Amino acid sequence: MPFQNRKSMPRAGCGRATSYIVQHNEYKELSMPHFAAGVVRFQKEVFPKMQALFQKLSLGQSPEALFITCSDSRIQTEVLTQTDPGELFICRNAGNIVPPYTNHVGAMTASIEFAIGALKVPHIVVCGHTECGAMKGAVQEGALDSLPHMKEWLSYSKAAVDIVAALGDGKTDAEKMMMLLEQNVVLQLQHLKTHPTVATSLALGELQLHGWVYDIATGEVHAYDEEQDTFIAVSERYAESIERLST
């Protein structure tokens, strides 16, 4: 509220204050937001059906994967992976970025350390997505000048931007953006390997890394195949595992 409005606000008298509230939009009572209504619906309709699962989860967690993805509101991890509560340990940030390991304390570093060192998750997924605003900002010169923290954060994607600049000649803008999305995921997988808990678990054969790119418009997910050094459909990348699960 601007300072000058504070001076004119009534200091005493309930009726006068109520009148002021009615007349000024910044004081009017807001209707319940959709997401809050969803909590009520969850408590009344969803929780009772899943109460046994939540009772089990109240005793601890043993997730199958650390799932690192973008903060973008269009990415719904449980919908995308068809998982239940307790199956994924999720970290989200702009651009699905993993800073290389340093002694500097950071949220991503601490979360990775906890997921691997304490929870012993056997898989880490780095999942990018189409129409990523962070990646668009990373390649548009000057686009992030008014967002200094975002600009600094996206420096962790610079190598991917440089690779696209070097290899993208002759490609369309859409092809360059897809290349950037993929190269950024590969880069973050490389950054993961600098984290001691990750490096140790990989050396012991206790951890697998996965790189994905999700297409919002089509629902397609492509996974990185390290042997072929390319992204292929999830159904192809994990064909053997899918077949074992179906038998």
Q: What is the dihedral of CA 172, 126, 156, 164, to 10 degrees?
A: -20
| Percent of the chain predicted with pLDDT > 70 | 88
- Domain boundaries of the chain, sorted by first residue: 61-246
Residue 14 has pLDDT above 80, yes or no: no
Structure tokens given for 205: 């054969």
Q: Give the tens place of pLDDT for each residue, 140-159.
A: 988 999 999 999 999 999 99
**Average pLDDT value for the chain:** 90
Cβ burial of 37 (10 Å; 0-12, 13-18, 19+) is exposed
Position 16 pLDDT exceeds 70 = no
230: left (phi over 0), alpha (psi -120 to 50) or beta: beta
Quote the CATH superfamily of domain 61-246.
Carbonic anhydrase (3.40.1050.10)
pLDDT tens per residue, range 160-187: 999 999 999 999 999 999 999 999 999 9
